[in-house]
């Protein structure tokens, strides 16, 4: 008997490469170029771009065209409302003799003084009432009662108290400006998130530090809104204030025009009021964009 020294049979030895005679699989179709990617464009940018200043002026221009059409066709007589051409001519005459500039200067001075005094009073009361509970108990109820009283109804009292000079006119504007500022600043202070207050306290901020770094910045949007309301009311209060024994100002021109049935002069004064109010609102909105850059807001689509 002989012992074979050949290595034992291994299953792996059965595995052999494919012979050349084996059928090869047919190569598949070569991959073609993929689908072209198209950049997504927002629907808002696909629309025809119209300059925003043109869109904002289209409404007033359409109203002006309608006014001119009604005046030209006789549907709107000059006794009811003067035509745009007549108003423009009268405005040129008032500018030429300097009466419109003088009236605007006096009215702007009254509004500025009333706005400054009203801003100080309204903001101070809101801080006292919003930051301190005892201040709210002492101030808020009185302010809420006074703001429901029409400030125009206080004109006779102001005349008795301050006379017929500039003081009652500025007092009326101050009163009208104070309440919107008070309400919005107070709401802004009380609307600050309590978690922000707790976070500030955990960081070791003092009471003044909380007011300076947390509460006042949080109340600033409300203060800006109140300022815009106050500016609108200041021009409304000016109309009533300048009818109290005034001898200068836009209100005085309107009273004179009313006595002589001059609708053209009245319209000129109203247009000046509108442009002054629009300019003041633009100034406040610009101030909002500068002071509230940290707050992202929806701007419309």
Please give the chain's pLDDT, 301 residues, in tens.
Answer: 444 444 444 444 444 444 444 445 455 555 555 566 565 555 555 555 777 777 778 888 888 889 889 888 888 887 888 888 888 999 999 999 888 999 899 999 999 999 999 999 999 999 999 888 898 888 988 898 888 888 778 888 888 888 888 888 899 999 989 999 999 999 988 888 888 888 887 888 787 888 888 888 888 888 888 888 888 888 888 888 887 777 788 888 888 888 888 888 999 998 898 888 888 888 888 888 888 777 666 455 5
Q: What is the pLDDT of residue 291?
A: 81
Rounded to an integer, what is the distance from CA 129 to the centroid of its chain? 25
| HEC string for 134-164 | HHHHHHHHHHHHHHCCCHHHHHHHHHHHHCC
Residue 142's closest CA among 119, 117, 171, 121? 121
Query: In whole angstroms, what is the distance from residue 80 CA to residue 63 CA?
Result: 17
For 123-148, how does the pLDDT look when each residue is reduced to its tens digit (9 = 90+)?
999 999 988 889 888 898 889 888 88
Integer angstrom CA distances of residue 165 from 99, 118, 158 = 20, 19, 10
Beta carbons within 10 angstroms of residue 270's beta carbon: 14
User: CA distances (Å), 168 to each of 142, 158, 171, 246, in order?
Assistant: 22, 5, 5, 11
Per-residue pLDDT tens for 204-215?
A: 878 788 888 888
Q: How far is CA 162 from the centre of its chain?
A: 35
> What residues contact 125, with CB distance under 8 A and at least 6 apart?
139, 143, 178, 182
CA 88 to chain centre: 30
pLDDT of residue 246: 75
Both tokens assigned to 267: 């319209």
Residues 6 or more apart in contact with residue 99 via CB below 8 angstroms: 253
Q: What is the pLDDT of residue 28?
A: 53
Share of the chain above pLDDT 70, in %: 81
Contact 124, 189 (CB under 8 A): no
Of 168, 171, 169, give the one whose Cα is nearest residue 242.
Answer: 169
Question: CB-side exposure of 123: number of CA atoms within 13 Å?
Answer: 16
- Number of helical (H) and strand (E) elements in the chain, helices listed first: 12, 0
């Amino acid at each position: 008997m002989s012992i074979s020294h050949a290595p034992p049979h291994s299953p792996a030895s059965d595995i052999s490469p494919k012979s050349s005679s084996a059928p090869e699989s047919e190569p598949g179709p070569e991959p073609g170029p993929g689908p072209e990617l198209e950049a997504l464009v927002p629907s808002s940018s696909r629309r025809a771009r119209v300059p925003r200043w043109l869109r904002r002026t289209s409404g007033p221009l359409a109203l002006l065209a309608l006014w001119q059409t009604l005046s030209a066709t006789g549907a709107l007589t000059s006794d009811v409302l003067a035509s745009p051409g007549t108003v423009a001519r009268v405005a040129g005459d008032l500018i030429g003799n300097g009466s419109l500039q003088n009236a605007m200067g006096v009215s702007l001075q009254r509004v500025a003084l009333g706005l400054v005094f009203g801003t100080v009073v309204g903001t101070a009361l809101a801080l006292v009432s919003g930051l301190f509970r005892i201040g709210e108990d002492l101030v808020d109820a009185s302010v809420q009662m006074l703001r429901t009283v029409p400030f125009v109804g206080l004109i006779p009292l102001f005349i008795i108290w301050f006379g017929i000079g500039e003081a009652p006119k500025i007092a009326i504007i101050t009163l009208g400006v104070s309440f919107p500022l008070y309400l919005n600043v107070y709401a802004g202070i009380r609307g600050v998130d309590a978690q922000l207050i707790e976070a500030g306290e955990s960081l070791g901020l003092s009471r003044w530090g909380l007011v300076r770094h947390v509460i006042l910045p949080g109340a600033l949007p409300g203060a800006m809104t109140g300022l815009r309301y106050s500016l609108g009311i200041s021009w409304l209060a000016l109309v009533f204030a300048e009818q109290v024994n005034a001898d200068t100002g836009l209100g005085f021109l309107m009273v004179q025009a009313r006595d002589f049935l001059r609708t053209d002069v009245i319209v000129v004064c109203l247009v000046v009021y509108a442009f002054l109010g629009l300019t003041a609102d633009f100034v406040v909105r610009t101030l909002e964009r500068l002071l509230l850059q940290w707050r992202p807001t929806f701007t419309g689509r």
